[in-house]
Amino acid sequence: MNCHEVRHHWMLYLDSEGDPELHFRIGDHLASCSECAAWYAQQQGFERALREKLAGRAPTQELWQRVLDRAGIQKAPRFWRRRLVWGGAVAGGLAAALLVGFLLLQYAGHSTGPDLARLAADEHQQVVEGILQPEIVSSSDEEVDRFLKTRVAFPVHCPPRKDVAFEVQGASICRIKDAPAAFIVGKVGPAKVSILVLDRSSLDSFPKERDHLAQGGGRHHCREGDLEMVSGLVAGNLVVVMGDAPPEKLEQLLNAYGTYPEG
């Protein structure tokens, strides 16, 4: 079980729901992944603090509706209704405000799903660990370019080349949040580097990434686990470059993408 799956099912684990095999796999992952263990502890702490604040008398229908209206939710899913009862209670403005915050957090998390950085990092890690193999294995940027152009409907441009120290090793076609994507693998020196290419229109599926790019002038630098990442909109594509190479090297690859003559 990977980090994305653990964070998707964490509530079942917290509530001791779901099948025993799922609980075992999540527990096993949390025992070996310090990043997810810290993330899970943070969720537990938030739940505990919220539960304490909500101790009091039972919520009224009027308060329920005010909370849902402020959260911008017409009808609370059964999952939320169950969690918000907790055998007791919502009372007072502070509790209502906390409840709205909790609803917004859950609503955002379940409506948008994992962000682009997490999904791209998961794909890269599976390639690095040998779980996924490139569909085409080649050190020729031209061969990789031809392969990609015949496999996706949206325009894909030439990958970075040796003039920016990128040694291409292959490529695959994958799906990221139901959007088709090209995935190019290679190296910068000894560092393994991957380049994820989506159609620009797929940015609407990643509102968090869209906001980061808008705030960063079309570029977004971040870390996902041990990976450095840089993303941007280039030549009609949404491009994410990631790996354990220095950030400036990754940005150099991003800037080089799509600059070569199309043949």
68-82 burial string, b = 16+ CB within 10 Å, else e? beebebeebeeebee
Tens digits of per-residue pLDDT, 202-247? 998 898 899 999 988 889 999 888 889 999 999 889 999 999 999 9
**pTM for the model:** 0.60
pLDDT digits (tens, 9 = 90+) for 53-96: 555 545 556 655 555 555 444 445 444 444 444 444 444 444 55
State the average pLDDT over residues 97-119: 58
- What is the rounded average pLDDT of the residues 97-110? 49
Residue 147's H or E segment, with its range, is: helix 141-149
The reported pLDDT for the residue numbered 108 is 44
Return mean pLDDT, the chain: 78
Say what the pLDDT of residue 85 is: 45
> What are the sequence ranges of the domains in the chain?
3-112, 116-256
> Residue 112: its pLDDT value, please?
43
For 116-256, give the CATH class: alpha beta
pLDDT at 262 over 90: no
User: Residue 103 pLDDT > 60, yes or no?
Assistant: no
The confidence score (pLDDT) of residue 167 equals 96
